[in-house]
Amino acid sequence: MSKSPASDTGQKRPSLSRYLDPRVLNRVDRLELNARRIVEGFMAGGHRSPFHGFSVEFAQHREYAAGDDPRHLDWKLFAKAGRYFIKQYEVETNYVAYILHDASESMLFGSPRAAASKLEYANHLTAALSYLVVRQTDAIGVGIFNEGLVSYMEPKQSFAHIHRICHELENTQPKKKTDTGGIMHEFAERIKKRGLVLVISDLLDDPARILDGLNHLHFARHEVLLFHIIDPYELEFPFDGLIKFEGLEGYEDLLCQPRMLRKSYLQALNEHILAVRSACERNRVDYVMLNTGQPLEVALQSFLQSRALQRVARR
């Protein structure tokens, strides 16, 4: 087994579980998952905070008051206005991230063209994202859900916490239907401070409920990333002949000729994806489709690099 780079934080990286794949960690070890919008934190880190200090990025002026550090006086403004003003800056801070991980029965599907089932792919993604967040000295919490919240691990910033997350992923048995919209509502109420919410799901749910959940998180001022896990067979529907489809999440088995259904199926799928994408755009949510036919290390590296470039471009 290959060794991956050591952490720059001074913390010892955990021994690798099967969900902490060295191929994935080697690709993303030097990348970061930064928050683009304002979050609330309490330590110096790499993210914008709503609290003011005297570093990083200029925010506003305020009048000088007794006791203020004269080093932060704006002498150019004094020359124009004849009064003393202090420069205030936005301080960089850490954040808390929350992963909402879908463990409904439909996540068990995996076609011959996929690298893994949707569930296994999502488990590796959750582990890798948790590692990234802790690696950059931020805190990660994980909620595993189907029709409701199955288990919840409070946010912590330690590699031992990643072990607990991986252990929980390994011992969760997918069942029941998914309620992605409902879990977003629950966490919009649960999370008291602004943070980063990462939703990982195959999104086999009513788009209207997903939209309502995204709206709730948006109005609670959280930054949201939606990872849509989808199998290549779901995207292409390449079945032929007489096929028996196994019903998941309470649906009955179906015996049919897929060729007769392909056009209608693909139209319905594209409409569903468009509805979710549109909801994400309206709520300033990053929508990321992850095809399980693509190696996770490639997909995750591409996403993180693209996000980093967009962050630099916005400054």
pLDDT tens digits for 190-206?
998 889 999 999 999 88
Q: What is the mean pLDDT of residues 17-34?
A: 85
Query: Residue 86 falls within a domain, yes or no?
Result: yes
Report the CATH number at residue 241: 3.40.50.410
Kindly report the backbone phi and psi dihedral angles of residue 220, in degrees, each rounded to the nearest multiple of 5, phi listed first: -85, 0
Query: Residue 65 falls within a domain, yes or no?
Result: yes
Structure letter (DSSP) for residue 143: E
Query: Residue 169 falls within a domain, yes or no?
Result: yes
Q: What is the mean pLDDT of residues 263-272?
A: 93
Query: What is the residue range of 71's domain?
Result: 47-93
Q: Do 66 and 191 reside in the same domain of the chain?
A: no
Tell me how far apart the alpha carbons of residues 48 and 95 are, in angstroms, rounded to a whole number: 9
Q: Do 200 and 285 reside in the same domain of the chain?
A: yes
Q: Do 309 and 188 reside in the same domain of the chain?
A: yes
Query: Residue 41 falls within a domain, yes or no?
Result: no
Query: Residue 9 falls within a domain, yes or no?
Result: no
Give the end of a domain, one of 78, 93, 108. 93
Would you say residue 66 has pLDDT above 60?
Answer: yes
Q: Do 123 and 83 reside in the same domain of the chain?
A: no
Tell me how far apart the alpha carbons of residues 48 and 40 are, in angstroms, rounded to a whole number: 8
Burial of 122 (0-12, 13-18, 19+ CB in 10 A): buried
Would you say residue 14 has pLDDT above 50?
Answer: no
Tell me how far apart the alpha carbons of residues 273 and 202 are, in angstroms, rounded to a whole number: 11
Q: Do 236 and 108 reside in the same domain of the chain?
A: yes
Contact 11, 156 (CB under 8 A): no
Q: Do 228 and 214 reside in the same domain of the chain?
A: yes
Please write the tens of the pLDDT for every residue from 68-90.
677 778 888 888 888 888 876 65
pLDDT at residue 270, as a whole number: 95
Q: Do 235 and 89 reside in the same domain of the chain?
A: no
Percentage of the chain exceeding pLDDT 90: 48
Q: Do 267 and 233 reside in the same domain of the chain?
A: yes
Query: Residue 124 falls within a domain, yes or no?
Result: yes
Nearest 5°: CA angle at 114, between 109 and 116?
65
Is 0.75 surpassed by the pTM of this model? yes
> Which of 123, 129, 281, 100 has the alpha carbon at shortest distance from 187?
100
Please write the tens of the pLDDT for every residue from 91-117.
455 779 999 999 999 999 999 999 899
Q: Do 27 and 60 reside in the same domain of the chain?
A: no
pLDDT tier at 258, thresholds 50, 70, 90: confident
Query: Residue 16 falls within a domain, yes or no?
Result: no
Residue 27: both structure tokens together:
């690709």
Would you say residue 315 has pLDDT above 60?
Answer: no
Q: Which residues pair with 223 in a beta bridge?
A: 196
Query: Residue 68 falls within a domain, yes or no?
Result: yes
pLDDT at residue 2, as a whole number: 38
